[in-house]
Amino acid sequence: MASEQIHITRQKVISTDAYQSLSKIQKMMVVKRNNIKIIEHALNVIGNIGFPKWEKQSNSSYLNILIIKENHKK
């Protein structure tokens, strides 16, 4: 059973506590267009298979995992 597609914006990423705790260079990397697409795709996959299974199978960056975890809880 597929869940509905999740769309995420830069504003949602910027509003997370994880993003606010990053350095300036890390913030620049996180809000790049391709990285936002990666986060959005990860949230859609998590909606289908769950966070623990996604975390084991993915090779996502630590920064993305922090932001995805916080967005997934919302």
- Going by the DSSP 8-state scheme, the letter that residue 42 receives in this structure is H
Residue 6 has pLDDT above 90, yes or no: no
Share of the chain above pLDDT 90, in %: 78
Instruction: With cut-offs at 50, 70 and 90, classify the pLDDT of residue 2.
Output: low
Position 1 scores a pLDDT of 47
Neighbouring residues of 29: CB distance < 8 A, sequence distance ≥ 6: 35, 63
Q: Which domain holds residue 53?
A: 10-73
Average pLDDT over residues 54-74: 91
Residue 3: predicted pLDDT: 59
Distance CA 39, CA 64 (A): 7
Q: Return d(Cα 14, Cα 67) in angstroms, integer.
A: 9
Domain count for the chain, please give it: 1
User: Does residue 5 belong to any structural domain of this protein?
Assistant: no
In the prediction, which pLDDT does 61 show? 92
